[in-house]
């Protein structure tokens, strides 16, 4: 459709506000309350425009483009109107500086007088130039204020971690309230009181910690003034540069923008156009990157144990020691344990080094204990090929969602969107989490015991009908026979739900399609895990549901693909993992975190980590690795999305990228085939050999890239009895862990949030 | 011609009891419409009758109903606006207190005409007794089969609920009312979409004033022509004018639409109290621009009052005598709207607050020479620029008072200086 904005012909596609259409055509209309992710609010009234054929003025943010519309956005009368409205806005915001004639010369002297209790002008504002109101003032250029500024004189809320709330600077655009409600589903912030007494607050004025706040920081990011400011950034000058990276804390792969100041991280904010997170992040990505990367537990130089104590040393000495000890140990006595939080390049080199350099079959890693790994194991036994590249964004389109355990925050946002659009969420097991708030039901069945419930649902869903001749998925007849033998009474007994409720669940599944089934490691681990997966897979097949295993660590998926390539007849990674903890090997090379142990699991243990973590307690050598912010590489997120990232800052101390450490070690040991120049060269080698990466270009960031899946028939019921299982889960996945750093313990602010009940 | 239609039965004792109401021929309109007429006929008759909204905006009711889509997957809703928040207005409370079944009958007819099966009466929180009386009447109507499933055996269902407000003027604005009814903060919504397409719970919704709906049974019983005879050609029926202020007989007066304002004040309401003369009249609730004493020869129908520069609004006539300083009136107006602005949009939130501040300082004898002009400038900046009609409601009376009584206000300023 075509519309005319200020004599400019503009093509508009789809339903779009005049404000958005103008923005895309490079026409600036002042606005303070509008935000691309939010429903129009039309509160500030600065975006008033004239539309031919309509009476008076209308807000551009809440007026949708119609074919043939003729719009005027900047006539002298409109500008005058905006100035009058701005005049009012500035009367509730300390603003003397905005029209001060000494403004420009004042810039030079700001830094000396900034930290004050009361903000009376921009010179004293904690947000220091990060201000949309300033932009509007610069555009409209008021030369005089007709009203004195009214200071609200409200106490600044300082008790909560991460950010402060200063209602005295608030212009009531409502962006924070709306993002908290519409996008995050937390509804922690709200308007309190009315008229000119209106402020933004919490229920009963309690601190955010008591008000269901998840500290995602979305409100801080949308605040147009200094009313919401990050504590560590307030009064700081603007960053020297902004660099893009992919968050390494979990499997969703949110794109972050790192604000760099004098070589250090000033802040990390979610990228507006991040393909997965679209401007959103969680408490970890938003507030903890800086603290984690510059943490005092960082290992800055190689450490070697001498007389029982770890002492700093040079790389040559450390690598020489490791090389000597490994060379003196038989290959079958050496084991390697990988992290799933390292980029693909590190994981590839680690496994290549183990198989081709050390020639040991003993390879394991965190990924082996993840939900997708368990799914792949079950799939191999059942001869089915479940798709793994399920899109997170498809969850929002579902009409019923079964969530087993807890989910990562961005998945939670998609679930919230689905529920807002009318979907029902049923949560099974898991801990108290934000998603529970939008759930229709929370079935507190202990993890690992869902098999009977799921099979019961399958039985009810299948009814008494006989399978149609050959048209159904493979194994349908056999599956139905299984169901006939199954007794609903068993489902009732083990789930503790009355039979009537099972029928209600099936009705939900039948009436509401498409469905999405999501499960985490708690559901998939333990004695009944594999049986659970099989039962859920069959139910998903019956109901044509989206089926997504929720891996947790940032590169679980990449690690699984790389590990599968190097398996080559070796014992399973799970078995090796158990043996490692059981002390079956003489020498260990561990990346990142190992579960806490009573005594050293090996005679000689090397830990490659960015932190002095739990594994370091027994380490003989610690090799300092870079964090994701300091290195170049690729992560594969939970939906198979390949995402490259570049270093935002230089490595701390003498830390080196993981792949480089191993290549240097291989070089010290005199092993051929490890002379890589850069991470990109490692990726190229990987793209030549590992099937899932074949033909992919790790450098290309423009197009969306996904790792490849085997094109196998996936429409088949799982009908074989799952193999016997070991007892307890081995590895406890903690979303707040980054390598050796337990953030909920080692970072005070997160400790406060997690510990607060 | 007998002019009392709606208020005719008010003198009867216990009309609110369904037995008395039925004895008076109650629910005949429902019987007639549901058993003899198709829904479209009810709609057509109301359209022909030119029944205009009695809440304030004066929008034709039949036209409003016809905006609701006939075919939709969603439930449709009827919301009765019984918030009666406009200062000076006290007519709906009489209808609901004396004759609740008349309202219920009107609701049933409107619901039948539009194909609605769920209706809510949103009543202002202060009307606690009336709310209870309404709930009693609704219970009786259910018991007699005028509400609930399969009404009168014709297969039409209607459920009716009473919802009490919590004391915010903004919740009388139709979209603020919807938000409040949904359990949210009563902020207005952005229009379009209009409630007829996206209203309560995102569904098509009709919102009518109590008095508007109370007229519908008479239109159904007596026909559109009868109704038009009683009012103006483009504005049918009678209206309940609520007269308050310095008159001898304040109260409600049901008169034909189009009765002159002078006649209402001097004939029906008994003129001004002894020894006083007329200074000004607010003709349609506090948000309508004021008339000076020489402007009261105006016919009280929507179009004529609009042509005279004000609005008929809710038909609440506030009479101001010569002993009342206009600054006092202005103070009340300014205070009310500053207190009731919801705070969502800038011009209303801050404009009303600044008007109040300026008027306060004028009243305290600390006014400045350009304050009257300041008030005119401020209210002109609010007018037409706000999210919902509350902004206009606040700006128009201030603008009118400041312009028409500028001399008096200036004198007051000088006197204080």
Per-residue pLDDT reduced to its tens digit, A242-275: 999 999 999 999 999 999 999 999 999 999 999 9
Q: What is the pLDDT of residue A471?
A: 65
Q: Do A304 and A620 meet the contact criterion of CB atoms below 8 Å apart?
A: yes
Tens of pLDDT along B389-410? 999 999 999 999 999 999 999 9
> Same domain, yes or no, for B18 and B48?
yes
- Closest by CA to A627, choosing from A301, A254, A270, A293, is A293
pLDDT band with cut points at 50, 70 and 90 for residue B175? very high
Tens of pLDDT along A194-250? 999 999 999 999 999 999 999 999 999 999 999 999 999 988 888 999 999 999 999
User: Which chain B residues are within 8 Å of A46, Cβ to Cβ?
Assistant: 346
| Cα distances (Å, whole numbers) of residue A341 to A615, A723, B252 | 15, 29, 77
How many CB atoms lie under 10 A from the CB of residue A487? 12
Average pLDDT over residues A533-555: 93
Tokens of A115: 């930290």
pLDDT at A413 over 60: yes
Q: How far apart are CA B134 and CA B157, in angstroms?
A: 19
Strand A441-443: give its sheet, edge to edge.
Answer: A441-443, A424-428, A400-404, A515-519, A546-549
Tens of pLDDT along A23-42? 999 999 999 999 999 999 99
> Same domain, yes or no, for B138 and B269?
no
Element holding A515 (H helix, E strand): strand A515-519
- Closest by CA to A127, choosing from A180, A168, A90, A182, is A168
pLDDT band with cut points at 50, 70 and 90 for residue B355? very high
> Which residue of chain B comes nearest to A91, CA vs CA?
B350
> How many angstroms separate the CA of residue A649 from the nearest CA in chain B?
43
Q: Do A423 and A512 meet the contact criterion of CB atoms below 8 Å apart?
A: yes
Average pLDDT over residues A158-173: 95
Q: What is the pLDDT of residue B414?
A: 79
- Tokens 């709200």 identify what position? A190
- Closest by CA to A626, choosing from A248, A240, A287, is A248
Q: How far apart are CA A192 and CA A199, in angstroms?
A: 5
Best probe of the B interface among A15, A50, A79, A84, by most B CBs < 10 A, is: A84
Q: Within its chain, how far is the Cα of A507 from the centroid?
A: 33
Beta bridge partners of A643: A635
- Tokens 């002019």 identify what position? B3
Q: Tell if the pTM clears 0.90, that is, is over it.
A: yes
- Give the 3-state DSSP-derived string for A534-567, with helices as H, strands as E and coil as C: HHHHHHHHHHCCEEEECCCCCCHHHHHHHHHHHH
Tokens of A737: 């862990």
Query: Are residues B345 and A44, on separate chains, in Cβ contact within 8 Å?
Result: yes
Q: What is the pLDDT of residue A614?
A: 84
CA angle A386, A387, A392 (to 5 degrees): 130
Please report how the helices B389-404 and B371-382 are oriented relative to each other, as an axis angle in degrees rounded to 10. 150
Average pLDDT over residues A59-66: 96
> Same domain, yes or no, for B352 and B397?
yes
Q: How far apart are CA A487 and CA A14, in angstroms?
A: 52
Q: What is the pLDDT of residue A757?
A: 60
> Same domain, yes or no, for B123 and B267?
no
- Closest by CA to A264, choosing from A234, A243, A285, A286, is A243
> Same domain, yes or no, for B225 and B76?
yes
What are the helix (H) ranges across A496-626?
A: 499-511, 521-524, 529-543, 556-567, 573-581
Q: Domain containing B385 — which CATH number? A: 1.20.1440.230
For A371, the 3-state DSSP assignment is helix
Confirm whether B3 is domain-assigned.
no
Confirm whether B131 is domain-assigned.
yes
> How many angstroms separate the CA of residue A86 from the nearest CA in chain B?
9
pLDDT at A130 over 90: no
Average pLDDT over residues B180-191: 95
> Which residue of chain A comes nearest to B340, CA vs CA?
A195
- Tokens 């924070």 identify what position? A176
Q: What is the pLDDT of residue A738?
A: 96
Q: What is the pLDDT of residue A713?
A: 63
Q: What is the pLDDT of residue B315?
A: 95
Q: How far apart are CA B27 and CA B217, in angstroms?
A: 8
Strand A48-51: give its sheet, edge to edge.
Answer: A8-11, A2-5, A70-72, A48-51, A58-59
Q: How far apart are CA A372 and CA A104, in angstroms?
A: 58
Query: Are residues A172 and B349, on separate chains, in Cβ contact within 8 Å?
Result: yes
pLDDT band with cut points at 50, 70 and 90 for residue A731? confident
Best probe of the A interface among B184, B202, B350, by most A CBs < 10 A, is: B350
Q: What is the pLDDT of residue A434?
A: 86
> Same domain, yes or no, for B62 and B159?
yes
> Same domain, yes or no, for B216 and B115?
yes
pLDDT at B1 over 60: no
Q: Do A61 and A34 meet the contact criterion of CB atoms below 8 Å apart?
A: yes
Asked if the C-beta of B48 comes within 8 angstroms of chain A's C-beta atoms, the answer is no
Q: How far apart are CA A230 and CA A222, in angstroms?
A: 12
> Same domain, yes or no, for B222 and B249?
no
Averaged pLDDT score across all residues of chain B: 95
- Give the 3-state DSSP-derived string for B119-158, with helices as H, strands as E and coil as C: EEEEECCCCHHHHHHHHHHHHHHHHCCCCEEEECCCCEEE
Query: Are residues A42 and B338, on separate chains, in Cβ contact within 8 Å?
Result: no
> Same domain, yes or no, for B225 and B260?
no
Tens of pLDDT along B201-229? 999 999 999 999 999 999 999 999 999 99
> Same domain, yes or no, for B393 and B298?
no
Tokens of A672: 């051929």
Kindly list the structural domains of chain A, giving each domain's residue range(s) and its CATH number in brackets, ordered by start. Answer: 315-360+556-709 (3.40.50.740), 372-549 (3.40.228.10)
| Cα distances (Å, whole numbers) of residue B348 to A194, B341, B344, B354, B380 | 11, 6, 8, 10, 11
Best probe of the A interface among B180, B193, B335, B344, by most A CBs < 10 A, is: B344
Q: How far apart are CA A386 and CA A392, in angstroms?
A: 16
Contact residues for A462 (Cβ-Cβ < 8 A; gap 6+) = A480, A483, A542
Q: Within its chain, how far is the Cα of B315 from the centroid?
A: 7
Tens of pLDDT along A492-505? 988 889 999 999 99
Average pLDDT over residues B296-309: 95
Q: How many CB pairs under 8 A join A and B?
A: 81
Tens of pLDDT along B361-386? 999 999 999 999 999 999 999 999 99
Question: Which of B321, B342, B357 is a domain's end point?
Answer: B321
Q: Do A509 and A457 meet the contact criterion of CB atoms below 8 Å apart?
A: yes
Average pLDDT over residues A364-377: 92
Identify the sign of the CA torsion A440, A446, A451, A453.
negative
What are the helix (H) ranges across B264-318?
A: 302-307
Q: What is the pLDDT of residue A697?
A: 76
Averaged pLDDT score across all residues of chain A: 91
Gyration radius of chain A's alpha carbons: 29
User: Which chain B residues are within 8 Å of A194, Cβ to Cβ?
Assistant: 168, 170, 340-343
pLDDT band with cut points at 50, 70 and 90 for residue B183? very high
Percentage of chain A exceeding pLDDT 90? 75
Q: How far apart are CA A390 and CA A710, in angstroms?
A: 14
Confirm whether B265 is domain-assigned.
yes
**Structural domains in chain B (count):** 3
Q: How far apart are CA A457 and CA A539, in angstroms?
A: 8
Tens of pLDDT along B269-284? 999 999 999 999 999 9
Q: How far apart are CA B107 and CA B109, in angstroms?
A: 5
Question: Which of B229, B261, B296 is a domain's end point?
Answer: B229
Question: Which of B321, B342, B368 is a domain's end point?
Answer: B321
Q: How far apart are CA A733 and CA A736, in angstroms?
A: 9
| Cα distances (Å, whole numbers) of residue B31 to B22, B110, B225, B263 | 12, 14, 20, 38
Q: Do A59 and B189 meet the contact criterion of CB atoms below 8 Å apart?
A: no
> Same domain, yes or no, for B48 and B105?
yes
Residue ranges making up the domain that contains B408: 326-416
Q: What is the pLDDT of residue B129?
A: 96
Asked if the C-beta of B203 comes within 8 angstroms of chain A's C-beta atoms, the answer is no
Best probe of the B interface among A31, A42, A201, by most B CBs < 10 A, is: A42
Alpha carbons within 13 A on the beta-carbon side of B52: 23
Q: How far apart are CA A447 and CA A528, in angstroms?
A: 9
Confirm whether B113 is domain-assigned.
yes
Contact residues for A583 (Cβ-Cβ < 8 A; gap 6+) = A599, A601, A602
pLDDT band with cut points at 50, 70 and 90 for residue A680? very high
Q: Do B165 and B123 meet the contact criterion of CB atoms below 8 Å apart?
A: yes
Q: How far apart are CA A616 and CA A625, in angstroms?
A: 13
Q: How many residues does chain A have?
A: 757
3-class SS shares of chain B: helix, strand, coil, % to 5: 45, 15, 35
Alpha carbons within 13 A on the beta-carbon side of B184: 17
Q: Do B252 and B92 meet the contact criterion of CB atoms below 8 Å apart?
A: no
Q: Domain containing B312 — which CATH number? A: 3.10.20.600
Beta bridge partners of B123: B82, B164
Q: Where would I find the beta strands (DSSP E) of A292-406?
A: 303-306, 309-312, 334-338, 363-365, 400-404
Instruction: Kindly report which listed range (A567-576, A639-648, B94-103, B297-306) carries the lowest average pLDDT score.
Output: A567-576
Asked if the C-beta of B180 comes within 8 angstroms of chain A's C-beta atoms, the answer is no
Query: Are residues A57 and B385, on separate chains, in Cβ contact within 8 Å?
Result: yes
Query: Number of helices and strands (H, E) in chain B?
Result: 16, 10
Q: Do B44 and B114 meet the contact criterion of CB atoms below 8 Å apart?
A: no
- If 0-12 CB within 10 Å is exposed, 13-18 middle and 19+ buried, where does residue A711 land? exposed
Query: Are residues A191 and B339, on separate chains, in Cβ contact within 8 Å?
Result: no
> Which residue of chain A comes nearest to B347, CA vs CA?
A85
Of B168, B185, B353, the CB nearest to A196: B353
First-residue to last-residue Cα distance in chain A: 53
Q: What is the pLDDT of residue B156?
A: 97
Query: Are residues B353 and A147, on separate chains, in Cβ contact within 8 Å?
Result: no
Confirm whether B1 is domain-assigned.
no
Contact residues for A2 (Cβ-Cβ < 8 A; gap 6+) = A9, A10, A11, A12, A67, A68
Tell how strand A264-270 and strand A255-261 pair up. antiparallel
For A687, the 3-state DSSP assignment is helix
Confirm whether B2 is domain-assigned.
no
Q: How far apart are CA A560 and CA B374, in angstroms?
A: 72
pLDDT at A470 over 60: no
Average pLDDT over residues A11-17: 94
> Same domain, yes or no, for B23 and B92?
yes
Q: What is the pLDDT of residue A716?
A: 86
pLDDT at A702 over 80: no
pLDDT band with cut points at 50, 70 and 90 for residue B147? very high
């Amino acid at each position: 459709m075509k519309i005319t904005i200020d004599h400019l012909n503009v093509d508009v596609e789809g339903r779009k506000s005049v404000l958005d259409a103008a923005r895309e055509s490079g026409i600036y209309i002042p606005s303070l309350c509008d935000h691309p992710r939010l429903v129009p609010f039309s509160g500030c009234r600065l975006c008033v425009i004239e539309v031919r054929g309509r009476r008076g003025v209308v807000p551009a943010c809440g007026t949708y483009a119609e074919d043939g519309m003729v719009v005027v956005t900047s006539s002298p009368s409109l500008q005058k109107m905006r100035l009058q409205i701005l005049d009012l806005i500035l009367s509730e915001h300390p603003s003397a500086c905005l029209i001060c004639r000494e403004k420009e010369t004042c810039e030079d002297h700001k830094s000396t007088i900034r930290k004050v209790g009361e903000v009376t002008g921009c010179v004293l504002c904690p947000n220091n130039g990060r201000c949309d109101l300033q932009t509007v003032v610069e555009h409209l250029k008021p030369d005089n204020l007709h009203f004195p500024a009214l200071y609200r004189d409200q106490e600044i809320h300082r008790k909560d971690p991460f950010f402060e709330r200063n209602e005295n600077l608030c212009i009531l655009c409502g962006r924070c309230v709306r993002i908290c409600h519409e996008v995050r589903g937390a509804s922690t912030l709200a308007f309190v009181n009315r008229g000119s007494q209106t402020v933004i607050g919490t229920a009963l004025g309690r601190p955010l910690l008591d008000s269901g706040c998840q500290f995602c920081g979305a409100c801080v990011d949308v605040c147009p003034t200094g009313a919401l400011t990050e504590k560590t950034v307030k009064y700081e000058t603007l960053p020297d540069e902004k660099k893009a990276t992919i968050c390494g804390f979990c499997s969703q792969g949110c794109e972050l923008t790192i604000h760099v100041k004098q070589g250090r991280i000033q802040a990390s904010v979610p990228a507006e156009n991040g393909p997965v997170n679209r401007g959103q992040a969680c408490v970890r990505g938003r507030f903890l990157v800086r603290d984690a990367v510059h943490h005092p537990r960082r290992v800055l130089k190689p450490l070697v144990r001498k007389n029982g104590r770890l002492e700093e040393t040079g790389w040559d000495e450390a690598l020489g020691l490791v090389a000597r000890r490994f060379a003196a140990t038989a290959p079958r006595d050496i084991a390697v344990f990988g992290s799933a939080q390292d980029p693909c390049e590190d994981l590839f080199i680690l496994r290549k080094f183990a198989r081709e350099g050390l020639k040991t079959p003993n390879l394991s890693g965190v990924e082996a204990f993840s939900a997708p790994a368990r799914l792949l194991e079950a799939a191999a036994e059942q001869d089915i090929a479940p798709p793994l590249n399920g899109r997170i964004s498809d969850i929002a389109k579902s009409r019923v969602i079964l969530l087993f355990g807890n989910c990562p925050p961005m998945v939670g946002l998609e679930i919230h969107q689905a529920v807002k659009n009318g979907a029902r969420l049923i949560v099974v097991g898991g801990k108290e989490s934000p998603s529970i708030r939008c759930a229709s039901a929370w079935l507190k069945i202990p993890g690992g015991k869902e098999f009977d419930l799921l099979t019961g649902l399958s039985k009810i869903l299948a009814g008494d009908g006989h399978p149609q001749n050959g048209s159904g998925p493979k194994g349908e007849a056999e599956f139905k026979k299984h169901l006939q033998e199954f007794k609903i009474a068993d489902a009732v007994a083990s789930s503790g739900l009355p039979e009537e409720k099972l029928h209600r669940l099936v009705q939900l599944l039948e009436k509401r399609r498409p469905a999405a089934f999501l499960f985490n490691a708690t559901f998939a681990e333990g004695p009944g895990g594999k049986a659970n997966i099989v039962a859920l897979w069959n139910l998903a097949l019956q109901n044509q549901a989206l089926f997504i295993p929720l891996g947790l660590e940032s590169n679980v998926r990449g690690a699984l693909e790389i590990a599968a390539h190097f398996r080559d007849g070796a014992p399973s990674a799970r078995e090796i993992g158990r043996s490692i903890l059981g002390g079956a090997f003489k020498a260990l090379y561990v990346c990142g975190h190992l579960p806490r142990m009573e005594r050293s699991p090996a005679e000689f243990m090397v830990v490659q980590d960015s932190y002095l973590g739990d594994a370091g307690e027994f380490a003989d050598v610690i090799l300092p690795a870079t964090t994701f912010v300091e290195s170049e590489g690729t992560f594969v997120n939970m939906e198979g999305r390949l995402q490259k990232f570049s270093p935002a800052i230089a490595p701390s101390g003498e830390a080196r990228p993981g792949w480089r450490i191993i290549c240097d070690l291989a070089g010290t040991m005199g092993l051929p085939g490890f002379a890589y120049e850069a991470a990109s060269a490692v990726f190229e080698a990987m793209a030549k050999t590992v099937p899932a990466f074949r033909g992919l270009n790790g450098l290309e960031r423009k197009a969306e890239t996904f790792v490849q899946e085997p094109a196998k028939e996936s429409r088949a019921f799982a009908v074989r009895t799952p193999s016997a299982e070991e007892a307890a889960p081995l590895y406890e996945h903690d979303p707040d862990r980054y390598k050796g750093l337990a953030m909920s313990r080692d970072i005070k602010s997160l400790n406060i949030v997690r510990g607060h009940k | 011609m007998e002019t009392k239609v709606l208020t005719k039965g008010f003198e009867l004792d216990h009309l609110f009891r369904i037995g008395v109401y039925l004895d008076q021929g109650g629910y005949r309109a429902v019987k007639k419409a549901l058993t003899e007429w198709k829904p479209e006929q009810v709609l057509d008759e109301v359209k022909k009758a030119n029944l205009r909204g009695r809440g304030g905006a004066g929008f034709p009711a039949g036209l409003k109903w016809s905006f609701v889509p006939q075919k939709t997957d969603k439930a449709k809703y009827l919301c009765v606006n019984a918030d009666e928040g406009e200062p000076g207005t006290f007519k709906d409370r009489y209808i609901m207190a004396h004759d609740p079944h008349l309202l219920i009958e009107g609701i049933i007819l409107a619901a039948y005409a539009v194909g609605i099966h769920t209706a809510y009466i949103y009543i202002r929180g202060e009307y606690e007794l009336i709310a209870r009386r309404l709930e009693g009447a609704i219970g009786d109507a259910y018991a007699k089969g005028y509400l609930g499933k399969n009404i009168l055996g014709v297969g039409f269902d209607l459920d009716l609920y009473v919802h009490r407000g919590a004391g915010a003027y903004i919740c009388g604005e139709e979209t603020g009312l919807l938000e409040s009814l949904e359990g949210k903060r009563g902020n207005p919504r952005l229009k379009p979409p209009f409630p007829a397409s996206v209203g309560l719970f995102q569904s098509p919704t009709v919102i009518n004033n109590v008095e508007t709906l109370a007229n519908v049974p008479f239109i159904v019983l007596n026909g559109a022509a009868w109704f038009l005879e009683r009012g103006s050609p483009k504005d049918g029926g009678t209206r309940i004018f609520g007269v308050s202020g310095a008159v001898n007989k304040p109260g409600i007066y049901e008169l034909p639409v189009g009765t002159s304002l002078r006649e209402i004040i001097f004939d029906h309401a008994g003129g001004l109290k002894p020894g006083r003369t007329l200074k000004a009249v607010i003709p349609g609730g506090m948000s309508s621009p004021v008339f000076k004493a020489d402007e009261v020869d105006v016919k009280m129908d929507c179009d004529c009052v609009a042509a005279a520069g004000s609005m008929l609004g809710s038909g609440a006539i506030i009479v101001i005598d010569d002993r009342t300083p206009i600054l006092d009136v202005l103070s009340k107006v300014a205070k009310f709207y500053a207190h009731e602005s919801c705070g969502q949009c800038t011009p209303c939130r801050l404009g009303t607050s600044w008007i109040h501040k300026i008027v306060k300082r004028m009243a305290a004898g600390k006014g400045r020479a350009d304050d009257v002009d300041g008030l005119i400038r401020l209210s002109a900046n609010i007018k037409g620029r706000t999210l919902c009609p509350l902004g206009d409601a606040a700006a128009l009376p201030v603008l009118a008072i400041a312009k028409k009584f500028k001399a008096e206000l200036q004198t007051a300023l000088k006197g204080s200086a």
